[in-house]
Amino acid sequence: MESRTLVQLMEECERDTARIVGQGAANRLARWRTYAEDEGALVQFVQRVIRRESRANGWQIDQRGGLSLERIVLNHLPDLFTEEDKQEARSTLEV
């Protein structure tokens, strides 16, 4: 698997969110761009989003073959995230 940066993964996640969930959800997710120059702040943004009560978008994106934030946490850049983050992601994806 080729190594991609968190910014590259977020770009793909935003595109998949628009395609699968809708442009409104993608527009809300696009706030990540505020943190694109600061990886630590971007990680914190992802942590906040995956802990929100509504987890339907992440599950839906994953089920339809898109790249969800949860898959970024679990499969692409797990070293950037805590065990608690990974548990949240697994809970959302029901894995």
Domain boundaries, the chain: 6-93
Minimal CA–CA distance to 62: which of 86, 44, 81, 89? 89
With cut-offs at 50, 70 and 90, classify the pLDDT of residue 2: low
**Residue 70 pLDDT more than 70?**
yes
**Residue 1 pLDDT more than 60?**
no
| Number of CB atoms found within 10 A of residue 43's CB | 18
Could you tell me what percent of the chain has a pLDDT over 70? 98
| Number of CB atoms found within 10 A of residue 85's CB | 20
With cut-offs at 50, 70 and 90, classify the pLDDT of residue 24: very high
Minimal CA–CA distance to 57: which of 32, 22, 15? 22
Q: Which comes out higher in pLDDT, residue 54 or 90?
A: 90
